[in-house]
Every structure is written in C-alpha cells, then in structure tokens.
Amino acid sequence: MTDNKSKLILVDDHPLLRKGVRQLVELEDDMEVTGEASNGQDAIALVQQQEPDLVLLDLSMKGMDGIETLQAMRDAGITCRIVVFTVSDDRKDVVAALKAGADGYLLKDMEPDELVTNIREACSGKMVLSSDLAELLALALREGKSSATEATYNSLTRREKEILKMIAEGLSNKMIGRQLDIVEATVKVHVKHLLKKLGLRSRVEAAVWVVENQFK
C-alpha cells in the first residue's frame, strides 16, 4: 500500500540527476518520490507542505546552497531525515553538513544499488555516510557538542523522554507512533519540542547525546 511507502523529496538543481534518482527509487516497492525542488527556497516550502520521510539534498545549488537550506529547514522546525547528496568529499563540507543537522552524507559517485540501500536505511532512521567519510562523523559530532545538561534532560516530559530513547534506538517517527499508539504527526511535534529543549539540530545528534550521557 502507498501509505506504507517511504516518501522522498529530491532537492537538486540538475534535472537529469533528479530524474535518474527518481527512476531508481520508483523501481522499489517500499519508496516513492513525492516531490522535487531545484532550489532551497522551493525545497523548504515543499517539505513543510508534504512532510516527507526523507529529503535528499544537494550541496552546490545556485542561490541558497545546501548548508543554508539545511539550516533553514532545521530552524523552521523540520524534523524529517535530511541526507546530503553531493560530489564534494571535502572535510569542511562534511563537518558543516553534520553540524547543521544532516542525518547523512552520501557521494554522487556511488553505485546505484548502494545509493538505494543507503536511502532505505536513512528512511528507517539510520545514519548513512559514504564509507570513506566515516572517520569524519565522530569529529563533526565532537565539534558540535550540545550544551544540554542533565537538568535540561529532566525538563523533558515523560513522553519526550520515551521518544528520545526510541530515537536513540534508531526508530523512525512512524515506528515510534506505532509503539506508543499515537499518530505520526504527534510524534513529529514531540521530536521538534525535545530537540529544541536540548539545543540539538537533528535526530543523529540526539541519539549520540543520549549514548554519551547514558540517559535511559
């Protein structure tokens, strides 16, 4: 059923690239592309309107670049998974993207099958990173440490703590909703609030923060 498919939005200023990724995704039974944007401003409006499971975001676009678009999405309270998809393997770009709230960073030169696998894993709540960039992940998260404390954690509601724990276990909003018997839209509101309280920009940062502080 369509309702069970992961919904993707592609953000890239190259129509041919968007078409190629769309064709790849449409071969899969569990994913679908529900929208495309060629620039950051259109992307923000589209994501707010559609609330997809995953945004695949290019870095080097005219006007707002990918980092600016990513920051604007997180500042607007968008909590879906956002994965950067780019040709750049520059350390500064990787670190900037992860610190801005990206849930992954994939290079455009990967094999099609590998891309599909990574997209599926990102949709399920996992952090995805091109294999040769893995060592930069720890660095990015170390440099972007949250100022959240145990007192901040204690300010979370019981429900927010439950959801934070599930985020740390890698569960998607959809799966959290099923486990708690609440609608996905309610989960999204809780995620938005708990990230704001903790001063975190993404689910990945939240998961790492929970593990580092050993909160249960």
SS (H, E, C) 92-160: HHHHHHHHCCCCEEEECCCCHHHHHHHHHHHHCCCCEECHHHHHHHHHHHHHCCCCCCHHHHHCCCHHH
* pLDDT value at 161 more than 90: yes
Residue 196: the pLDDT is 87
Query: Which band of pLDDT confidence, cut at 50, 70 and 90, is reported for residue 214?
Result: low
Residue 114: the pLDDT is 93
121-124 long-range CB contacts below 8 Å, 24 or more apart? 122/54, 122/81, 122/83, 123/6, 123/8, 123/31, 123/53, 123/54, 123/81, 123/172, 124/170, 124/172
Residue 142: the pLDDT is 58
Residue 128: the pLDDT is 86
Q: Distance (Å, rounded) from C-alpha 164 to C-alpha 206?
A: 7
| Fold exhibited by the domain 2-143 | Rossmann fold (3.40.50)
Q: Where are the domains of the chain?
A: 2-143, 150-213
The pTM (predicted TM-score) of the whole model is 0.72
| Residue 11: φ, ψ to 5° | -125, 105
Write the pLDDT tens digit of every residue in 87-98.
998 878 887 888
Comparison of pLDDT for 7 and 216, the residue scoring more: 7
Mean of pLDDT values over 73-84: 91
Residue 1: the pLDDT is 38
Mean of pLDDT values over 129-157: 69
Q: Supply the CATH classification number for the domain 150-213.
A: 1.10.10.10
Q: Which of 8-17, 49-58, 94-103, 174-183 has the lowest mean pLDDT?
A: 94-103
* pLDDT value at 66 more than 70: yes
Write the pLDDT tens digit of every residue in 112-123.
999 999 999 998
Query: Which band of pLDDT confidence, cut at 50, 70 and 90, is reported for residue 86?
Result: very high
Residue 107: the pLDDT is 92
Average pLDDT, the chain: 86
